[in-house]
Amino acid sequence: NTTKMQIAIDGPASAGKSTVAKLVAKEMNYIYCDTGAMYRVATWYALKNNVALDDNQALEEMLKDVQLEFVPAEPVQKVFVNGEEVTDAIRMPDVTNNVSLVAAQPSVRKAMTQRQREIADAGGIVMDGRDIGSVVLPNAQVKVFMEATVHERALRRYRENQAKGIETPLAVLEEEIAARDYKDSTRKEAPLICAEDAIKLDTTSLNIEQVVAEIKKIIKKNAK
Ligand code: CDP
Ligand code: CDP
């Protein structure tokens, strides 16, 4: 099968979306697009330039100055804003704890959705986020909604933090993740939702290889 597909992977925070999406893209020789990184960049830039995080219009103006670039790299792709590398900066707690507010602003969603569709137009793509199957790429041939319990997701984040030397108690991570999921699911525009035609995948007791295998099965079934 030589047809290039669109593969949409959505789900709540730390469900394993980006890890798995990246591996699937690599295997298929597709482009990988981490849409969460785009909302993180908007948040990082707004914090840096003292733009109010809930000022829809000011954010719209601000984004006109944001030149965003992804560079494939291992273990994670590099992210640049106006030439400055922000790969690590956009994962810092002040960005993580404010990103849902910025991502709820309609002007931000509009700008990001437009850029994401442009990226997807380039060919085969694996895109992960919250509204890919429901809003950004509604005609995607494959839609997966990844889930896992809050406890398991917090545990994954905890281990990730430990590897970076960050010590946040598990209970705090559970609260942060639950709070972000709540904000993402209840916002007015493009909330986190399982698209009607998406396939739900509970990854609570699956490791990364097992999730990749499950997604490959889903792709095989849906490839036209
Ligand atoms: O990696 P993690 O699960 O922490 O989150 P992310 O995928 O980097 O996304 C960060 C935030 O961006 C989410 O909590 C959402 O508020 C927002 N987001 C969104 O609104 N729509 C998307 N398609 C992707 C992310
Ligand atoms: O992109 P998202 O926020 O959904 O999650 P991620 O950043 O891909 O994964 C969060 C953490 O969970 C990473 O450290 C992964 O290595 C880990 N993970 C895991 O332990 N088991 C899985 N089945 C999937 C991811």
Domain containing 156 — which CATH number?
3.40.50.300
Which atom of ligand 1 sits closest to the CA of residue 116?
Answer: 23
Nearest CA among 149, 165, 207, 172 for reference residue 23: 207
pLDDT at 219: 94
Residue holding tokens 């394993």? 16
pLDDT tens digits, 177-207: 999 999 999 999 999 999 999 999 999 999 9
pLDDT at 222: 82
Using a 6 Å cutoff on CB, does residue 207 contact ligand 2?
Answer: yes
- What's the gap in Å between 219 CA and the centre of ligand 1? 23
Q: Which residue has the least CA distance to atom 25 on ligand 1?
A: 36
Instruction: Quote the number of domains for the chain.
Output: 1
- The verdict on residue 65 lying in a domain is yes
- The verdict on residue 78 lying in a domain is yes
* Max CA separation in the chain (angstroms): 49
**From CA 85, how far away is CA 38, in angstroms rounded?**
13
Per the structure, the complete domain to which residue 14 belongs is given by 6-211
Assign 75 a pLDDT band (cuts: 50, 70, 90).
confident
Whether the per-residue pLDDT at 122 is higher than 90: the answer is no
Q: How would you class 98 by CB atoms within 10 Å of its CB: exposed for 0-12, middle for 13-18, buried for 19 or more?
A: middle
**From CA 173, how far away is CA 17, in angstroms rounded?**
18
What integer is the mean pLDDT of 83-93?
95
- The verdict on residue 174 lying in a domain is yes
pLDDT at 157: 94
Mean pLDDT of the chain: 95
pLDDT at 145: 98
Whether the per-residue pLDDT at 1 is higher than 60: the answer is no
pLDDT at 224: 58
**From CA 183, how far away is CA 188, in angstroms rounded?**
10
- The verdict on residue 182 lying in a domain is yes
Edge-to-edge strands of the sheet including 142-147? 31-34, 125-129, 6-10, 142-147, 199-202
pLDDT tens digits, 14-30: 999 999 999 999 999 99
- The verdict on residue 68 lying in a domain is yes
- The verdict on residue 221 lying in a domain is no
pTM: 0.96
Whether the per-residue pLDDT at 2 is higher than 60: the answer is no
Q: What percent of the chain has pLDDT over 90?
A: 90
- The verdict on residue 143 lying in a domain is yes
- The verdict on residue 220 lying in a domain is no
- What's the gap in Å between 10 CA and the centre of ligand 2? 13
pLDDT at 98: 96
**Which one is predicted more confidently, 195 or 223?**
195
- Mutate which of 90, 127, 156, 208 for ligand 2? The one with the most ligand atoms within 8 Å of its CB, which is 156
Amino acid type, 207: N
pLDDT at 45: 98
What integer is the mean pLDDT of 71-79?
88
**From CA 66, how far away is CA 132, in angstroms rounded?**
22
Instruction: Say which ligand is closest to the CA of 153.
Output: 2
Q: What percent of the chain has pLDDT over 70?
A: 99
Whether the per-residue pLDDT at 160 is higher than 80: the answer is yes
- What's the gap in Å between 35 CA and the centre of ligand 1? 7
Q: Are 87 and 78 in contact (CB under 8 A)?
A: yes
pLDDT tens digits, 28-62: 999 999 999 999 999 999 999 999 999 999 999 99
